[in-house]
Amino acid sequence: MTDIAKAGVYPIAGRSVKRMGYGAMQLAGPGVFGPPKDRDQCIAVLREAIESGVDHIDTSDFYGPHVVNEIIKEALHPYPKGLVLVSKVGAVRGSDASWNPAQTPAELVTGVHDNLQRLGVETIDVVNLRITGAVHHPTEGSIAERFGALVELKRQGKVRGVGLSNVTAAQVAEAREIDEVACVQNLYNLVHRGDDPLVDALATAGIPYVPFFPLGGFSPIQSQVLSDIATELDKTPMQLALAWLLHRAPNILLIPGTSSLGHLRENLAAAEIELSAETLARLDAIGAKVTA
């Protein structure tokens, strides 16, 4: 079995977790809507992730909606000691599978209570405030009122930490003036490097950075270069992309998601991959053509 502890650990909301976690979004049906085709397989994936040492699961009640949290509860409740559950609020799903903003303080509070109920917990370790706007491209604007509403739930003991998702550096700074930021979850990968300064600033501050879409937005040429390097190393492109992120900064926590046992094992194996300076340089060059 893969030793994911080789990738190290990092604190989030006062809890130390292994840097290789699991994202539960793909446990829902197509388009992250409705039930999965094979619920038993999803339960098996969650249980094997835990057996493999994963102690950080990312979820949301708007995955499904409700479906993913219900599967997590069925598979893992009562939860293992040390398991950190991270959810997010800021959207609701329409009956047509649309993603609709739910950004008022009252809607955010309702979202947290929905997560608490369906996960079957009295306190969620971390709740991320997902700022809606352009898809995966943060837009500026004050988030103080929304962040403050979740900080109040922290004071009430409903959440242990409040994080941010799809935000700008200025919004992170604004939130940090109000309370601690448990983590930041943004689009970031080998070719989407716009958050490079933010990743480094958060590392200095001891705040976890959780990238999503590790293979999102690659051009065909970039994908081919990555595939060629992966073939040389007898790895998959996803494994290489995850390994690069682990090497990028010590505060990066990974949450690759899948509903396949085979893909789960492949993803977790990235925790053991060591990249030479030459390979890192070749991988960096793929993104440098975009960010230059």
Active site residues: 63
Query: What is the C-alpha separation between 201 and 205, in angstroms, rounded?
Result: 6
DSSP 80: P
Separation in Å, CA 263 to CA 49, 122, 185, 283: 11, 32, 22, 22
Alpha-carbon 71 to chain mean position: 18
Block residue for tokens 């809607």: 107
CA distance 203 to 171: 17
CB atoms within 10 A of CB 94: 10
Q: What is the DSSP letter of 280?
A: H
Tokens of residue 238, six digits:
């996803």
> Considering Cα of 141, then 143, then 145, then 146, what sign does the dihedral take?
positive
Q: Could you tell me what percentage of the chain is helix, strand and coil, using 3-state DSSP and rounding each to the nearest 5?
A: 45, 20, 35
Other C-beta atoms closer than 10 Å to the C-beta of 78 total: 8
CA distances to 18, 203, 228 from 242, in Å: 14, 18, 16
d(CA 186, CA 278) in angstroms, rounded, equals: 27
Q: What torsion do the CA atoms of 189, 144, 58, 12 make, to the nearest 10 degrees? A: 90
